[in-house]
Amino acid sequence: MSGFPHLLEPLDLGFTQLRNRVLMGSMHTGLEEEKGGFEKLAHFYKERALGGVGLIVTGGIAPNFRGRLAPNACQLSFPWQVGKHKIVTRAVHEGGAKICMQILHAGRYGYHPFSLAPSKVKSPITPFTPSAMSLRQIRGTIKDYATSAELAKRAGYDGVEVMGSEGYLINQFICERVNQRSDDYGGSFANRIRLPLEIVRAIRAKVGPEFIIIFRLSMLDLVDKGSSLEEVIELGKALEQAGVTIINTGIGWHEARIPTIATSVPRGAFAWVTERLKKELSVPLVATNRINTPEIAEQILASGQADMVSMARPFLADPEFVNKAAANQSEAINTCIGCNQACLDHTFSLKRATCLVNPRACYETEINFPKTESPKRLAVMGAGPAGMAFAVYAAERGHKVTLFEARDEVGGQFNLARKIPGKEEFNETIRYFKNRLAHFKVDLRLNTPLNASVLRDEPFDELVVASGVVPRELNLPGFDSPKVVSYQQVLRGEVEVGQRVALIGAGGIGFDLAHFLGEQESSTLEPERWYRQWGIDTSYAERGGLAKQAQAHAPARELYLLQRKKSKLGKGLGKTTGWIHRMVLKQHKVTELRGVSYERFDDQGLHILIDDKPQLLPVDTVVICAGQESNRALLPELEECGLPMHLIGGVDVAAELDAKRAIRQGAELAMRI
Ligand code: FAD
Ligand code: NAP
Ligand code: SF4
């Protein structure tokens, strides 16, 4: 008996059945536009279908040229475009799942000069001003949606999802924020929702009754002049009448300044919104956003907040998610940690999406770990992300792996990252790798620093060095004081930190430390506290679900964050998450200083120069977050042992190291060793 009975319960849609309540949410992978990408996409989806997903929704496909998100984005408007979609639908059906194609018209989010919107109102997140749609263009677009859906049916899809949320075209029509029209498609609410209703009716007329139509309804806009709860309910009811089969939840416009999917968002933080609609509507409703474990998914379904759950990134992290849940092996699930580093950040840089914790995602035909015909005895030095990943994948191939770790726990610097408030999910990656190390019977030796004498005592064929990095030290006058400490000492609780603190270095770790030291609480994931912090009103009294005022918490310390560069602080942070880190520092009232030269530390504080002018920061503690250097102290003696040696992760290159590179390098070496 599975511990997740609600998650695994089939859903009867009348004309068709879904095998369980799991919807794999829409994700643009970048394969859609690559040469030969649909074959790779078919493998990607098939693994998820074989892994147990009930219903897959594809990445957004435009119904016409001007609705594309980017100039080269995928579109389904002509019969000759159907063939490549058949490769995908066939593969998914062979895997036992159903698949719907998402139709997405970007509206003013289109990243090209041909974008259209209800009115000529530029979005704050795109450089292009859209043209206001003429009535002819509106009618043409409705027809294009219907044509696209009909072609999707011909391509073998089980249905379509109409993207009506996240601030895309349909959402732009629904809200006065962008819709300033005075014709039949603007003004009153009835006029503003005319477009989505006509689109759904036109699609239903073209595809007949036995075809799934999902509507992604923006249930909480999280922007000024968004919809009120009453309007969302009214639209939901009208959509039911118009013939939708399922209503999926949309949370927040892309331009909203409230995090909706980042790791610092508490798990299942928006299920309450779907629950509000559940009381009013009768078609199945899908809950979304930061649902990343079978436990939270089951809880949402069992408590009646929704009929299905949508998870997208968790299926990049682990295609076998559902099967593992069904086998009561949730400990073996590779959990999405909500970092966005390899998925959304890649998409926004026009790179193929993948996953920090699973480098195989979207590389299913390129990264594999087949059994080796010549097993080797491999010694691995260091159980950080690079060493753990290598050990697991090499052992999966049949090599005999011994993993040496100097400390009493695996995880390397992830043990520090997980202490940052809002980064608790990093625990899950450590748990996953621990589970896999045991599963593949890796010989794990904790509290065992590897050195030349250990290597001489045991017969190994090759050595993999994954000893990571050491924090950079700064040798300046007064920096030998016990009040000048490293970020590692702070996070490990080895030193006292005063009330006035200067942080030297404003990279990812400097920002994280500022957050850590500015917070009163060690965790920020308590939902009510988090809603207050970001100004979300769960009573939904105001339009968009915004509270009258966000209530940031009083900072725990007076903090200064410093860098030598003159550029804006935090420029190198993740594309989709950097703004959140910057906002948190504003909430903590951190003083940001750039163009700084460091002079000395004494009883008065930290002496610096900015534009050659001396300044004194009256701080009692200085925390050095000035990057790292490769941990190579033992390399010369290891080299003398004469074993073939490979370097991965931080010990290979310390600059711009992140866990994405560390894990990927481990996987790539395991593939070829
Ligand atoms: P490490 O994690 O440094 O692991 C090296 C391991 O080798 C350690 O366990 C060490 O004890 C062991 N070792 C060293 N010498 C020996 C020896 N002689 N014998 C045996 N074992 C030895 N990255 C991201 O991508 N995203 C983030 O959001 C992020 N946040 C971070 C937040 C903080 C506060 C910190 C400190 C880091 C963060 N990082 C983040 C960086 C990320 O943790 C590193 O990039 C990653 O851990 C590097 O992996 P690694 O395996 O190369 O090295
Ligand atoms: P980093 O990003 O390289 O930043 C180092 C900082 O130290 C910079 O601000 C640099 O700025 C300063 N610095 C470098 N050398 C210095 C010197 N000699 N004296 C004084 N200041 C110096 O490194 P990090 O912050 O340690 O992060 C390490 C890696 O972890 C990063 O590459 C990052 O990818 C990863 N990480 C990611 C996240 C995330 O949220 N994605 C979070 C944490 C960590 P100046 O040179 O201008 O002074
Ligand atoms: Fe999740 Fe990060 Fe992987 Fe994206 S890259 S799927 S956010 S773990």
Which residue, chain included where needed, has tokens 């389904």?
76
Q: Which of 312, 329, 349 is the last residue of a domain?
A: 349
Question: 457 and 321 in one domain?
Answer: no
Q: What is the pLDDT of residue 367?
A: 97
Distance from residue 504's CA to the centre of ligand 2 (Å): 10
Structure tokens at 141: 């677009």
**Distance from chain centroid for Cα 570:** 19
Whether residue 414 has its Cβ less than 6 Å from ligand 1: yes
Question: 653 and 566 in one domain?
Answer: no
Q: What is the pLDDT of residue 554?
A: 87
The domain spanning residue 591 has which CATH number?
3.50.50.60
Provide φ and ψ at 484, rounded to 5°. Answer: -105, 115
Q: What is the pLDDT of residue 549?
A: 85
Question: 420 and 406 in one domain?
Answer: yes
Q: Do the Cβ atoms of 225 and 544 come closer than 8 Å?
A: yes
**Catalytic residue ranges:** 168
Q: What is the pLDDT of residue 180?
A: 97
Atom of ligand 3 nearest to the CA of 316: 6
**Across the strands, what pairs with 591?**
560
Mean pLDDT, the chain, whole residue set: 97
Distance from residue 413's CA to the centre of ligand 1 (Å): 3
**Domain assignment present for 91:** yes
Nearest ligand to the CA of 314 is 3
Question: 330 and 285 in one domain?
Answer: yes
Question: What is the pLDDT averaged over residues 500-526?
Answer: 92
Atom of ligand 1 nearest to the CA of 423: 28
Nearest ligand to the CA of 653 is 1
Distance from residue 426's CA to the centre of ligand 3 (Å): 11
Q: Is the pLDDT of residue 523 over 80?
A: no
Q: How many residues does the chain have?
A: 673
Question: 640 and 608 in one domain?
Answer: no
φ/ψ region of 410 (left if φ > 0, alpha if ψ in -120 to 50, else beta) reads: beta
Question: 641 and 616 in one domain?
Answer: no
Tell me the pLDDT tens digit for each residue of 275-308. Answer: 999 999 999 999 999 999 999 999 999 999 999 9
Q: What is the pLDDT of residue 268?
A: 97
Which residue, chain included where needed, has tokens 């309450």?
272
Name all residues whose Cβ lies below 6 A of ligand 2: 341, 472, 474, 504-510, 512, 563-565, 572-574, 625-628, 656-658
Distance from residue 374's CA to the centre of ligand 2 (Å): 41
One-letter amino acid at 312 equals A
Q: What is the pLDDT of residue 369?
A: 98
Question: 599 and 463 in one domain?
Answer: no
Q: What does the alpha-carbon distance between residue 148 and residue 329 come to, in Å, rounded to a whole number? A: 40
Whether residue 416 has its Cβ less than 6 Å from ligand 1: yes
Distance from residue 469's CA to the centre of ligand 1 (Å): 7
High-pLDDT (> 70) share of the chain, %: 100
Q: Is the pLDDT of residue 453 over 80?
A: yes
Q: Is the pLDDT of residue 524 over 80?
A: no
Q: What is the pLDDT of residue 611?
A: 92
Q: What is the pLDDT of residue 2?
A: 78
Q: What is the pLDDT of residue 522?
A: 75
Parallel/antiparallel/unpaired status of strands 400-404 and 377-381: parallel
Question: 242 and 116 in one domain?
Answer: yes
Q: Do the Cβ atoms of 263 and 357 come closer than 8 Å?
A: no
Question: 569 and 424 in one domain?
Answer: no
Tell me the pLDDT tens digit for each residue of 591-645. Answer: 999 999 999 999 999 999 999 999 999 999 999 999 999 999 999 999 999 999 9
Q: Which of 357, 425, 658, 661 to mutate to test the pocket of ligand 2 (most atoms within 8 A of CB)?
A: 658
Which residue, chain included where needed, has tokens 């395991």?
670
Tell me the pLDDT tens digit for each residue of 219-249. Answer: 999 999 999 999 999 999 999 999 999 999 9
Whether residue 379 has its Cβ less than 6 Å from ligand 1: no
Radius of gyration of the chain (CA): 26
C-alpha angle with apex 631: 630 to 633, nearest 5 degrees? 125
Question: What is the pLDDT averaged over residues 376-385?
Answer: 98
Give the structural domain span for 569.
473-520+556-626
Closest C-alpha residue for ligand 2 atom 14: 626
Distance from residue 202's CA to the centre of ligand 3 (Å): 36
Structure tokens at 374: 């010549």
**Domain assignment present for 541:** no
Structure tokens at 489: 């000492």
Q: How many CA atoms lie less than 13 Å away from 644 in the CB half-sphere?
A: 6
Nearest ligand to the CA of 581 is 2
Nearest ligand to the CA of 355 is 3
**pTM for the full model?**
0.97
Name all residues whose Cβ lies below 6 A of ligand 3: 313, 316-317, 336-343, 355-357
Residue 482: which residues within 8 A CB-CB, separation 6 or more? 495
Question: What is the pLDDT averaged over residues 514-536?
Answer: 90
Question: What is the pLDDT averaged over residues 127-146?
Answer: 98
Question: What is the pLDDT averaged over residues 443-447?
Answer: 98
Closest C-alpha residue for ligand 3 atom 8: 336
Whether residue 466 has its Cβ less than 6 Å from ligand 1: yes
Q: Is the pLDDT of residue 197 over 80?
A: yes
Atom of ligand 2 nearest to the CA of 563: 48
CA of 571: how far to CAs of 25, 254, 310, 507, in Å?
30, 20, 32, 9
The domain spanning residue 108 has which CATH number?
3.20.20.70
**Domain assignment present for 545:** no
CA of 308: how far to CAs of 8, 11, 24, 285, 566, in Å?
10, 9, 10, 6, 49
Distance from residue 664's CA to the centre of ligand 1 (Å): 14
The helix (H) or strand (E) run that includes residue 138 is helix 135-154
Q: What is the pLDDT of residue 600?
A: 98
Question: What is the pLDDT averaged over residues 133-151?
Answer: 98
Atom of ligand 3 nearest to the CA of 343: 4
- Total structural domains within the chain: 3
Closest C-alpha residue for ligand 2 atom 32: 656
Question: 187 and 103 in one domain?
Answer: yes
Which DSSP category does 546 fall into? B
Tell me the pLDDT tens digit for each residue of 164-175. Answer: 999 999 999 999
Distance from residue 352's CA to the centre of ligand 3 (Å): 13
Q: Do the Cβ atoms of 455 and 643 come closer than 8 Å?
A: yes
Q: If DSSP codes are grouped into helix, strand and coil, which group holds residue 611? A: coil
Q: What does the alpha-carbon distance between residue 216 and residue 25 come to, in Å, rounded to a whole number? A: 11
Nearest ligand to the CA of 360 is 3
The domain spanning residue 449 has which CATH number?
3.40.50.720
Q: What is the pLDDT of residue 223?
A: 97
Q: If DSSP codes are grouped into helix, strand and coil, which group holds residue 360? A: coil
Structure tokens at 33: 């536009």
Closest C-alpha residue for ligand 2 atom 3: 627
